[in-house]
Amino acid sequence: MRDSDGVTELGVGVIGAGWMGHVHARAYARLPHHYPELGVRPRLVAVADPVPAQLDDFAARFAPARRHADWRELLADPEVRAVSVTAPNALHREIGTAVAEAGRDLWIEKPVGLTADDARAVAEAVERAGVRAAVGFNYRTFPAVARARALLGEGAIGTPTHARCRLLTDYAAHPRAALSWRFTRRLGGGGVLGDLASHGVDLVRFLLGDLAAVVAETAVFTPRRPRTPRRAGWRTTTTSARCCAPRAASRSPSRPAGRRWASRTPTASRCTARGGCSPGTSAAPANWR
């Protein structure tokens, strides 16, 4: 639909009203400010989130036309033509494929899924549906990266044979930050490797192409975190005989009284559970903002 100025209006929806959903809503609102000549103006039509407090906060800030507790209702809205998926990682495959199958253009946050198979499933759904899709590798758009790619393309520094990637961030650095779904393998996937290191991998491939070999070191710097009470929220459709909630650790004088703590060992391939989920049930993220 075009307005009186000949600008096409694009109805957008956001699935996931947490902090990343806020980032996407702000970006849509600011797009005409940065690209006034674009000829397309996003309009926030709807938001979906199963947590009422999240919906209320999002609506107060960004005033979407409609809000839904079920993301499937958002996809049924004929005014929504493009969708941002900012839900927990464990739901990216299910929601991402559904967005494509509904014929909506897709912007999905990384990681696209918990595994490579998850990412391939979303990519294949996009290809079958013939919709547009993008993953949240936003560092590609930085002017410095564009300049670096131009210099490399011109051969200004010769032929690179090695690249070192170092990302400096304080994300989740505070040792008393609560244990959330992002720190569990079943709901978060690869943790910091998927959330942050994936940006580094994408930048290297964007600038230099495919890699022949990768050398890396990993470590867990904060093996224990306080646990927060589980609350209603997103749920996965898969089942597991083991819950992802780590084992409660014994208190020490340095930890605040009245808070439960959980631990993960650096070498553990999966977290352990005690008194968490019963076999065959799905775990809901306790805190996924």
| DSSP bridge partners of 2 | 8
Q: Is residue 105 part of a domain?
A: yes
**Is 246 domain-assigned?**
yes
| C-alpha span between 22 and 138 (Å, rounded) | 16
- How far, in Å, are 147, 229, 273, 280, 283 from residue 240 at the CA level? 47, 21, 12, 5, 9
Bridge partners, 263 (sequence order): 224
Residue 79 lies in a domain: yes
Altogether, the residues listed in the chain come to a count of 289
pLDDT averages per 10-residue partition of the chain, 289 residues: 74 96 96 91 97 96 96 97 95 97 97 92 98 93 92 92 82 79 75 81 91 83 78 54 35 43 38 31 37
Same domain, 81 and 117: yes
Residue 17's domain is classified under what CATH number?
Answer: 3.40.50.720
Q: Is residue 181 part of a domain?
A: yes
pLDDT reported for residue 185: 74
DSSP-H helix ranges across 102-212? 116-129, 143-154, 185-188, 192, 198-208
Domain CATH number, residue 232: 3.30.360.10
Burial 22-48 (b: 16+ CB within 10 A, else e): bbbbeebeeeeeeeeeeeebbbbbbbb
**276 in any annotated domain:** no
Q: How many domains does the chain have?
A: 2
Q: Are residues 119 and 152 in the same domain?
A: no
* 280 within some domain: no
Instruction: Tell which of 83, 114, 136 closes a domain.
Output: 136
Mapping DSSP to helix (H, G, I), strand (E, B) and coil, where does residue 258 land?
coil
Largest Cα–Cα distance in the chain? 67
Beta bridge partners of 262: 225, 248
Given 136, 151, 173, the domain boundary residue is: 136
67 and 147 part of one domain: no
Task: Please say which residue of 88, 114, 136 terminates a domain.
Answer: 136
In this predicted structure, what is the pLDDT of residue 215? 83
pLDDT computed for residue 149 by the predictor: 94
Residue type, 236: T
Question: In this structure, are 32 and 127 located in the same domain?
Answer: yes
**Do 51 and 72 share a structural domain?**
yes
Verify that 161 and 187 share a domain, yes or no. Answer: yes
Q: By residue range, what is the domain housing residue 101? A: 8-136
Q: What is the pLDDT of residue 14?
A: 98
- Euclidean distance between CA atoms 55 and 233, whole angstroms: 12
Do 152 and 259 share a domain, yes or no?
A: yes
> Do both 126 and 211 map to the same domain?
no
Whether residue 247 is contained in a domain is answered as yes
Same domain, 125 and 153: no
Within this chain, do residues 229 and 169 fall inside the same structural domain, yes or no? yes
State whether 21 and 43 are in the same domain.
yes
Residues 57 and 114 both lie in one domain: yes
| pLDDT value for 23 | 96
Tell me, yes or no, whether 275 lies in a domain. no
In this prediction, residue 175 carries a pLDDT of 82
Torsion of CA 182, 108, 27, 65, to 10 degrees: -100
Q: How far is C-alpha 179 from the chain's CA centre? A: 17
pLDDT given at position 55:
96
Query: Which pLDDT belongs to residue 267?
Result: 33
What are the residues whose beta carbons fall under 8 Å from the beta carbon of 246, sequence distance 6 or more?
179, 184, 262, 263, 264, 271, 272, 273
Provide the angle, in degrees to the nearest 10, between the axes of the packed helices 143-154 and 198-208.
40
Predicted pLDDT at 265: 36
